[in-house]
Amino acid sequence: MSGYTRYPSHKTSPKGEEAESPVGRSRSTAGRWVRLALVVGLLTLFFRLTTLGNRLVGTMGNPILLAAAMQATSDHPLINLIDEEKAQISSGRELSGMQARALSAIARSRGQLTTAEVWLIQGMADRASAYLSQFELCLLYWNEGQRAHAREACRGTKASLQYWLNRGYDADDQKNLDEALDYYDMATAVDPDSVRAWYVLGRTLFALERYKETVAAYEHMMALNPTPPADVYEALGWSYLKLGRPEPARAILDRGLMVFPDRQTYYLAMADVFRAEGDLLAADSWYARMLQRWPDDVRAWSGRGEVAIADNRPDDAIDYYQKAAEGQPQGFGYWLNLASTAWAEDNISLANEAYRQALALQPDNPSVLLQVGRFYAATKQVDEAKAVFEHILQLQPGNDEAADQLAAIVDSQRP
């Protein structure tokens, strides 16, 4: 005996032994009606899709319009629209966005810019692709030099943000800052909430030394992102300083130091803020704080030398300038600062060496040559002075000072 219960199975009666029951006949009839209904439904769906497909072809992709538009945008001769198509266009029937943009392309190729504009405005009524017609309208204005119209046409169309940013990046790469600025300005118009757009706009304005606009752009950016990249604090600080506003400059740099305490240029900027306010002691303290952390930074040594000169401490200035020149021997400006300070303090030997170093680094720089020539002339180094002024006149034949100095040397050598 098996280990599980066997239930009786349903057995099919031999053919002819059992008549169909009323319930069986009812089920069979219902099944046929269901199948018939499905067939009818499928046929109806087929015809509706066929009709809809024809309508979509006419609405979305009028072949003649699209062919004409493609030819227009590829500088090929335009095909002629047949009478039937002309009638459809002039019938007043609402066009799809695609049709409107195709008609606009045709009009643009014929120089009919007003007509192109009208078609694009009409295309914006098609909600499914209104943003595309709006973007094309924006480009139409832009390419015609109507930048203000373009801004208004594209305002708030965030989908086009990356397009304008990319165009700006390309202009940046080509060192065309004015063109880049226009694209970045457009980017802020299409998406006023884009931190990136405001950042690149501010950066470009700062590079163009448009400080008031730099402040406006970066302040807007910081309202969106209170902790921007490090260069924003620095650029804002310098911009405030250039605008004669040392207090907000100091405040933004303090804020930057809390976020980026190792940013050396913040120390330099902070020292410049106090120098602008006439607080030389505070300025010197910022250079000193910087040198405690970065003792070989020649910018801090040179800045400290400038503060010492302004504070009438020439001996300290000489020490600081020497540190800068020794730290960066190729920096001819540091040698010139050291030379002029040493000369003023009657340290002729040190001045002589420093001027010699500057001259070796800039042998064909008329500005440097004039400074060296004056020193040689004043310290009675006649041959050296004469050689320097003659070289200046070779570089700049119309240099009046060099000509006068040379004439004076020649006169002094006459018996």
* Helices 113-123 + 130-143 axis angle, to 10: 160
The residue among 135, 154, 173 that closes a domain is 154
Give one DSSP letter per residue of 220-268, joined into a string: HHHHH-SS--HHHHHHHHHHHHHTT-HHHHHHHHHHHHHH-TT-HHHHH
**Taking 70 as the threshold, does the pLDDT of residue 10 lie above it?**
no
Which pTM value belongs to this model?
A: 0.68
Both 304 and 334 in one domain: the answer is yes
Give one DSSP letter per residue of 338-406, joined into a string: HHHHHHHTT-HHHHHHHHHHHHHH-TT-HHHHHHHHHHHHHTT-HHHHHHHHHHHHHH-TT-HHHHHHH
Both 408 and 348 in one domain: the answer is no
Look up residue 326 and give its two tokens: 């020794």
Look up residue 259 and give its two tokens: 């976020």
Both 317 and 369 in one domain: the answer is no
Amino acid letter, 202: G
* Domain assignment of residue 279, yes or no: no
Taking residues 15-24, what's their average pLDDT?
Answer: 40
Both 97 and 133 in one domain: the answer is yes
| Residues 281, 274: Cα–Cα separation, whole Å | 8
| Residues 299, 264: Cα–Cα separation, whole Å | 10
Both 326 and 341 in one domain: the answer is yes
Place of tokens 């009666």: 13
Q: What CATH number is associated with residue 356?
A: 1.25.40.10
Give one DSSP letter per residue of 147-214, joined into a string: HHHHHHHHTT-GGGHHHHHHHHHHHHHTT-HHHHHHHHHHHHHH-TT-HHHHHHHHHHHHHTT-HHHH
| Residues 338, 167: Cα–Cα separation, whole Å | 47
The residue among 361, 376, 407 that closes a domain is 361
pLDDT digits (tens, 9 = 90+) for 31-44: 555 455 454 444 45
Q: Which residue from 182, 264, 183, 248 is spatially nearest to 212, judged by alpha carbons? A: 248
pLDDT digits (tens, 9 = 90+) for 356-406: 999 999 999 999 999 999 999 999 999 999 999 999 999 999 999 999 999
Confidence of residue 84 (pLDDT cuts 50, 70, 90): very low
Both 329 and 397 in one domain: the answer is no
Both 63 and 149 in one domain: the answer is yes
Q: What's the distance, CA 270 to chain centroid?
A: 27
Both 74 and 133 in one domain: the answer is yes
Both 69 and 139 in one domain: the answer is yes
**Taking 90 as the threshold, does the pLDDT of residue 315 lie above it?**
yes
Both 67 and 150 in one domain: the answer is yes
pLDDT digits (tens, 9 = 90+) for 155-204: 778 888 999 999 999 999 999 999 999 999 999 999 999 999 999 999 99
Both 310 and 371 in one domain: the answer is no
Please, where are the H alpha helices in 91-160? 97-109, 113-123, 130-143, 147-154
Taking residues 260-274, what's their average pLDDT?
Answer: 95
pLDDT digits (tens, 9 = 90+) for 218-227: 999 999 999 9
Q: List, in order, residues 6 or more apart from 260 with CB less than 8 Å away.
A: 230, 233, 266
pLDDT of residue 138: 76
pLDDT digits (tens, 9 = 90+) for 89-109: 555 556 777 777 777 777 777
| Residues 379, 390: Cα–Cα separation, whole Å | 18
pLDDT of residue 308: 97
* Domain assignment of residue 167, yes or no: no
* Domain assignment of residue 217, yes or no: no
* Domain assignment of residue 218, yes or no: no
Taking residues 232-258, what's their average pLDDT?
Answer: 95
Place of tokens 């004409």: 68
Domain residues for 71? 59-80+93-154
| Residues 339, 261: Cα–Cα separation, whole Å | 35
Both 304 and 357 in one domain: the answer is yes
* Domain assignment of residue 160, yes or no: no
* Domain assignment of residue 226, yes or no: no
* Domain assignment of residue 390, yes or no: yes
DSSP summary character for residue 41: H
Look up residue 119 and give its two tokens: 């078609």
The residue among 120, 136, 154 that closes a domain is 154
Taking residues 60-86, what's their average pLDDT?
Answer: 45
* Domain assignment of residue 219, yes or no: no
What is the number of domains present in the chain?
Answer: 3
Mean pLDDT over each residue of the chain, to the nearest integer: 81
146 three-class SS: coil
